[in-house]
Amino acid sequence: MVVGIVLASHGALAEGVLSSGQMIFGQQQDVFAVTLTPEMGPKDFRGRLDQAIASVSDQEHLLFLVDLKGGTPYNQVRLLLEEGSHEDWVAVTGLNLPMLLSAYETRDGAETAAQVASSVYQGAKIGVTITPDSLTPHEALTVAPASASGSKITLKPGTVIGDGHIKCALARIDSRLLHGQVATAWAKQVSPTRIVVVSDGVARDSMRKTLIVEAAPPGVRANVIPVSKLAEIWLFGGFCGRDSGIGPAQRAKTTIWN
């Protein structure tokens, strides 16, 4: 038994890592690259992902190496893991060459994809270095200072801060919703405190809502609401209602999908 490997990425990264791995380890069996191109949607990528999985000899033990958490490749892999009953399907994000090489070194003697994933995780961390060594930061645990009272301030429902209106930094109609480009590029450019995804379908789907929330960049909250809720909070100044999930008026980046 050999653990199968599927590399998934935006653009040709997965193919490049696969090719580089072959230069070092030679041709490997049951390793496939799936790439997302600009003209593809989530369903197109899912189709290619399904084809790659069908080509793996042993589909009970499968390791997915994905480029970016929150991007379309990751979201489609995550949905696969949640939908199926495969206990030994594992995904690791942050795809790079050291990760693949660690997988190659480990999988021949491994009984599960989970064992290979553990080795891949360690290999990815060891593979990142800075030269000269003096520039390597020392890892330290940063503890946020506690408030004077030792407790958080809780606002009552209906409380309005400022003028009570959403400060919209960016609005976009995009069927991919909160994807990698939003989390890594646009969020840095507009510096939002909150991302609001407006979709009737996703608002009713707990799994997809979870993926959206997890895809939000550090320090930015994400909410998924139906179109009717957007209309309500947009027209009504005091939008800190109990059911909206939207807090006091903030600089908010809004991705809209009808």
Q: Considering 10, 61, 86, 165, which one is annotated as catalytic?
A: 10
Strand partners, 62: 4, 89
- Which single residue is written with the structure tokens 């959206």? 212
The answer to whether the Cα torsion of 235, 239, 243, 247 is positive or negative is positive
Residues listed for the chain = 258
What residues have CB less than 8 Å from 117, skipping those under 6 apart? 63, 90, 92
Q: Burial letters for 93-132: b for 16+ Cβ neighbours within 10 Å, e otherwise?
A: bbbbbbbbbbbbebbeebebbebbbbbbeebbeeeeeeee
Pair 208, 219: CB distance under 8 Å: no
Pair 175, 257: CB distance under 8 Å: yes
Q: What is the DSSP string of 197-255?
A: EE-HHHHT-HHHHHHHHHHSPTT-EEEEE-HHHHHHHHHSS----TTT---SS-EEEEE
- Number of other CB atoms surrounding residue 5 within 10 Å: 27
Active site residue 61: no
Q: Considering 61, 86, 165, 179, which one is annotated as catalytic?
A: 179
Catalytic positions, please? 10, 179
